Structure 1
């Protein structure tokens, strides 16, 4: 298992978090940025929390995905599942004011659809903190997965 880095550049963090945001820039200046992310993400003002969540691609999004997001979301493209993901993502964003973020962990989209169904009606504050925690889990997993890729090359 790859140790978490003591330092990462803005560019490295932007790749892990899907974009160069104020949050990413703060993390780049922090020691142990992926550990610091766990607490910093919850200390941000609301506008910055929304900014980092909205930088992440929507589950089931078909265009504009990074190579990493495409691989994580997988190929299962059942049209009925994709249509329902699109509909529920829109309902989630309308209700909560930010993008639905979940640590896919290579699960099929049908399974993620069930998670979205369960979470869409949660209180917004609960969802905000859940989504931020998921975002950090994704970044940490991406760091670990990159190490696995380096070993297998």
Structure 2
């Protein structure tokens, strides 16, 4: 596993976080950006937090997936599970106002569906914190798994 970097460019961070957002721009200015990502995320406005979460692709989506998301989500395409994921993703976004983000870590989609079902009725402030924590875990994992 690769150690966390002392410095990363905005482009490198945008790849890890699925887009160039204010969050990524702020991280690029920091030494040890992934080590400070939670702290930086906590200081964002709610609008900025929503933007960084919404840059991440929806679980179960087949289009507009980055190479990272394709590898993490795998090829588990049970049409019933995918349909339910898409339905619940939309319900989650309507309820909370931002995209559902979970550290997939190559788990099957039916397991992710259970996580979504468990989290959908949580309070929005709790979900915002959880989603940001998951997003940072995804980026750290992506960095550590990438080839040197």
- Shorter-normalised TM-score: what interval? over 0.9
Please name the residue that 1:119 is paired with.
119
Q: 2:51 is matched with which residue?
A: 51
CA deviation string 1:2-54 (max 9, x = no partner): 11000000000000000000110110010100011021111110000000000
Q: Say what the alpha-carbon RMSD is for the aligned residues.
A: 0.7
Equivalence map 1:21-32=2 (5 Å)? 21-32=21-32
Shift of 1:67: 1.2
Q: Which runs of structure 2 are paired with 1:1-153 in the superposition (5 Å)?
A: 1-146=1-146, 149-150=147-148
Q: Secondary structure at the match of 2:80?
A: helix
Runs (5+) with no aligned partner, structure 1: none
Cα distance in 1 between the residues matched to 2:124 and 2:42: 14
TM-score normalised to structure 2 length? 0.98
Offset of residue 85 of structure 1: 0.1
Separation in 1, partners of 2:60, 2:145: 21
SS in 1 for 2:35: helix
Aligned length: 148
- TM-score norm. by structure 1 comes to 0.95
Note the residue ranges of structure 2 that are not aligned, 5 or more in a row.
Answer: none
For the residue of structure 2 that corresponds to 1:127, the secondary structure is helix
Specify the SS of the correspondent of 2:141. helix
> Following TM superposition, by how much is the alpha carbon of 1:78 offset from its aligned partner in structure 2, in angstroms?
0.2
* Post-superposition CA distance 1:110-134 (Å, at most 9, x none): 0000000000000000000000000
